[in-house]
Amino acid sequence: MTRNELVEYAKKVVAAGSCCAELKEIGTKWIADPENAELTKQFIEELREDVTSIDGLIGFTASDAGKQVFGAEAAQKMHAAAEDAKKKGVKYCICDACTNGGVILDHTAELLG
């Protein structure tokens, strides 16, 4: 995957309502200067910290904390959707930020190489 293609995924990450402020900030900086090696490292590190695995989502939506954040009914629906996604081989959380961030993480070697 080319760097320009990964920039397009980064744009989807920062546009996602589920993207945290820290990831949005470094992602926006990286999009503006994707050849900057230090920004690239910072962006990847933030992605590693913030992108949730599908198992993490499954666990969170089944927890009391997940039910408090999303509400019991929404957490149950998200849990079922996450379980279904895992059965299909999805390895990252199914929100837009994690889905697109996961694509970038899967191509980290290309960004650092």
pLDDT in tens, 8-32: 999 999 999 999 999 999 999 999 9
* Spans of all domains in the chain: 1-52+96-113, 53-91
Residue with tokens 């996450």: 82
Q: Would the pTM of this model clear 0.85, i.e. be above it?
A: yes
pLDDT in tens, 33-86: 999 999 999 999 999 999 999 999 999 999 999 999 999 999 999 999 999 999
Residue 44: partners with Cβ closer than 8 Å, 6 or more residues away: 104, 105, 108, 111, 112
**pLDDT tier, 113 (very low <50, low <70, confident <90, very high otherwise):** confident
